[in-house]
Structure 1
Amino acid sequence: METRPATDSSRQQRKRAKKVERARAKALDQQFVNKSKLRAERLARLADLQTQNPLLVHVPDGVARADEQPLLLKEKRDQEMDVEKEKGQETRQLHYHRACYTCKVRFRQLHHFYDRLCPSCADLNYKKRLQSADLHGYIAVVTGARVKIGYEITLKLLRSGAKVIATTRFPKDAAFRYAKEKDYDGWKDRLQVYGMDFRDLGVIDKFMDHVERTYGKLDILVNNATQTIRRPVHYYKHLIEREMKPIQDDMAHVRQVFQGNANLLGTNSAAMNVNSGDGAVNSAAIVSTSGGSSSAISTSTPSSVYLSQMPLVAEDQHSEETEALFPKGQVDHNQQQVDLRTSNSWVQDINQVETIELVEVFAINTMAPFILNKRAIPLLEKSSNARRFILNVSAMEGKFYRNKTPNHPHTNMAKAAANMMTRTCAGDLARKGIYMNSVDTGWINDENPRDVAARIADTHNFQTPLDETDAAARVLDPVFVFFQEGNTDKPLYGQFLKDYTVSEW
């Protein structure tokens, strides 16, 4: 009885010691995790943004490029050297298990690049990240090619030797981004950038008429353009001045990538009417099938630029409150306008989604790919290459075999409809040597409003497991895999692909 106080005291000391040890182990694990290259690059950019403006919340996301060499089509020897280099990277053993994003297995061995993938999945993803192919002689159309996934898809295709026809609402901004790449001179002759807003469905037919006249055939179509989060007109204001101005002499080297766009504007009056009172674009153009009016605003600026400034819903209207949500001069790591709204499309249910947003989403995410696919098929058939590809970029939101929250029903519906297009059309196209699939990009960013995303990142040390380069690698894998040495598999078609494998619909 006399020794109980001492025993209790010893037990409490042991508990405290274990608690301290657990805290130390967790802190060490966090340090190890944050040193993985994908995380480390994101955190470094986050620190830079916070230094530039400590009053704004920022989110650690975006592309990691530290390991990548911007080369035109790596040879097999170069790829093997990259893999061997990766094998020699330092790996760490965590104190506590983590669940793999892909296969859900619990693991402790930390990959040098990914922190949310088990060793097996990390090795596969890193190999696929560096995968390429010889696509000289191939012509590809990539939609939504200005930033993020579409930008990375376009770079991969260009560096594989393909000619790329890239579409975006803001072609000059896109071209200036590509011109900053170190190897730009190596592939600039194979890039053409076009201004397109897929809410104006009629422009698509005019664009495809131009593609047929100019290029004569296609080999790859990547339907990447999508609207997930609707942004008000204020979000794009910082892009307008550059799009309207002539290209200055110090950027003359980018002019050639607009030659096709200039020809399109010259043969089709794709710009929209101006309201004589305030310069606003005629709202009838949204989700039109006419391709715009014959009365043009400009012969050098595509209608997509003007359409971005068309007020359609209440939050598009100018007010001091709205202006404050999009502070002038404040951009994220992608040089995209900072959006301080506390609610967006991702967290809205059926009662909150504006009717015009529903229409926009179906026009961009479903109708535009349908029209592009329809018009591309005859051009794909004209190609002399044995394998031709249509890649419909999809998402888990479009799957039926998955639990759903009540949020963003319109984007779920649009992706599900696009998936049905793949299911319906792919079998018939495969008989023509055209292989169509839907591809999930993986989790690359947090779509929550900025304050929520930043709070989650800070509280839970959270980052998405993949970046835009990983997403691009997944989208292009159905193409690249069939050019790998020793591959004898038949091309996949009519599938929903996730994590480099066939998944349920």
Structure 2
Amino acid sequence: AKIGMYIALRLLRDGAHTTITTRFPNDAIRRFKAMEDSDEWIHRLKIVGIDLRDPAQVVALADSVAAEGPLDILINNAAQTVRRSPGAYSELVSAESAPLPAGELPAAEVIGTFNSGSVDRVAALPSARKEGLSAQEVTDLALVTGSASPARIAAGTAIDAGGLVPDLHDTNSWIQTVDEVEPIELLEVQLCNSTAPFILISRLRPAMAATAAKHAYVVNVSAMEGVFSRGYKGAGHPHTNMAKAALNMLTRTSAQEMFEKDGILMTAVDTGWITDERPHPDKMRLAEEGFHAPL
């Protein structure tokens, strides 16, 4: 599991009614249901299947949330960082059509033309794994540490914290320069990381202004890559740097005005280094030397 799920769990365990978004709603249902204390809060959870690359779906989501009444907290979590290679989503796509667990399940909704995670056909091609995992096995592996260890990768049984089959290619956009990043990935990253948050903040502002609490809150999950004052800036992944810088500037531009007019507190936060996005050979070499991402 990654920070999005842990944020949602914290809110749920603190008593909040919580709506989350995902491209794989059935996988999310299984993950939350797998928590030992899920019976205590699952009735307060709603899972929305959506593709943040489609602004029309984001608008529909915002309007749906606004129609439910005042909103206390909006968290724009980190979204797409690098575009995964073909086959990475194969297990998740297969698991979306599998039966759901028994017992009480969270409310669920699908936005627009969303279908099986709205993953591109090329991104969901069958992987080179010897045999597929069951839906529950994908969930179980994604929730434990070591599920994408070098040994499991070598055995062809690895699933990472996002439920993806690890990408074993020797390059990806994390090390690509401005002339190497594909236009489609440039657009996807901007749509997920800056356009979608802008739309949600814009259209949900009236709902947040209407909260009965003293303040409403917007938390934009940014990253060090979007900070201009950082001393060192490498040439890799300029498109993700752009997206995070845009999110920071949105916060810088609108936070004071939103607070003064509507009492909405908006901030941008850097959660720290959680996922090592470097290509597989680089990660394996560094792992052999004892390195792992701090969080």
**Under TM normalisation by the shorter chain, which class is it?**
0.7 to 0.9
> Matched residues in 2 for 1:246 and 1:361: separation?
32
CA offset digits 1:65-102 (Å, max 9, x no partner): xxxxxxxxxxxxxxxxxxxxxxxxxxxxxxxxxxxxxx
Residue correspondence of structure 1 range 89-488 to structure 2 within 5 A: 147-213=1-67, 215-247=68-100, 251-258=101-108, 261=109, 270-271=112-113, 303=114, 305=116, 307-311=118-122, 316=123, 323-324=127-128, 329=133, 330-334=157-161, 335-402=163-230, 403-431=232-260, 432-459=262-289, 461-465=290-294, 467=295
In the alignment, what sits opposite 2:152? none
- TM-aligned CA distance change 1:338 to 1:367, over 3 Å: same
> Matched residues in 2 for 1:257 and 1:401: separation?
43
- TM-aligned CA distance change 1:376 to 1:439, over 3 Å: same
Contact residue 234 and residue 326 of structure 1 kept, 8 A:
no
- TM-aligned CA distance change 1:357 to 1:366, over 3 Å: same
TM-score (norm 2): 0.85
- TM-aligned CA distance change 1:245 to 1:317, over 3 Å: closer
AA at the equivalent of 1:445 = T
Contact residue 24 and residue 117 of structure 2 kept, 8 A:
no
In the alignment, what sits opposite 1:33? none
Residue correspondence of structure 1 range 37-116 to structure 2 within 5 A: none
Q: CA deviation at 1:246?
A: 4.7
- TM-aligned CA distance change 1:206 to 1:236, over 3 Å: same
- TM-aligned CA distance change 1:392 to 1:236, over 3 Å: same
- TM-aligned CA distance change 1:317 to 1:426, over 3 Å: closer
Q: Which runs of 5+ in 2 are unaligned?
A: 134-156
- TM-aligned CA distance change 1:364 to 1:347, over 3 Å: same
> Matched residues in 1 for 2:127 and 2:160: separation?
21
CA offset digits 1:190-249 (Å, max 9, x no partner): 100000111111011111222122x211100000041111113421111122213453xx
> Matched residues in 2 for 1:310 and 1:364: separation?
19
TM-score (norm 1): 0.51
AA at the equivalent of 1:352 = E
> Matched residues in 2 for 1:433 and 1:172: separation?
36
> Matched residues in 2 for 1:333 and 1:414: separation?
24
Q: Which runs of 5+ in 1 are unaligned?
A: 1-146, 272-302, 468-505
- TM-aligned CA distance change 1:413 to 1:326, over 3 Å: farther
> Matched residues in 1 for 2:116 and 2:192: separation?
16
Q: CA deviation at 1:337?
A: 1.2
AA at the equivalent of 1:428 = E
> Matched residues in 2 for 1:307 and 1:336: separation?
15
Contact residue 175 and residue 257 of structure 1 kept, 8 A:
no
Contact residue 397 and residue 412 of structure 1 kept, 8 A:
yes
Contact residue 162 and residue 190 of structure 1 kept, 8 A:
yes
- TM-aligned CA distance change 1:220 to 1:240, over 3 Å: same
In the alignment, what sits opposite 1:121? none
> Matched residues in 2 for 1:169 and 1:365: separation?
15
> Matched residues in 2 for 1:225 and 1:243: separation?
23
AA at the equivalent of 1:370 = F
> Matched residues in 1 for 2:276 and 2:60: separation?
35
> Matched residues in 1 for 2:185 and 2:130: separation?
20
Highest RCO, 1 vs 2 (Cα 8 Å, sep ≥ 6)? 2
Contact residue 389 and residue 434 of structure 1 kept, 8 A:
yes
- TM-aligned CA distance change 1:245 to 1:369, over 3 Å: same
Contact residue 29 and residue 106 of structure 2 kept, 8 A:
no
Q: CA deviation at 1:390?
A: 0.2
Q: Percent identity?
A: 41
In the alignment, what sits opposite 2:141? none
- TM-aligned CA distance change 1:463 to 1:245, over 3 Å: closer
Structure (1 or 2) with the larger CA radius of gyration: 1
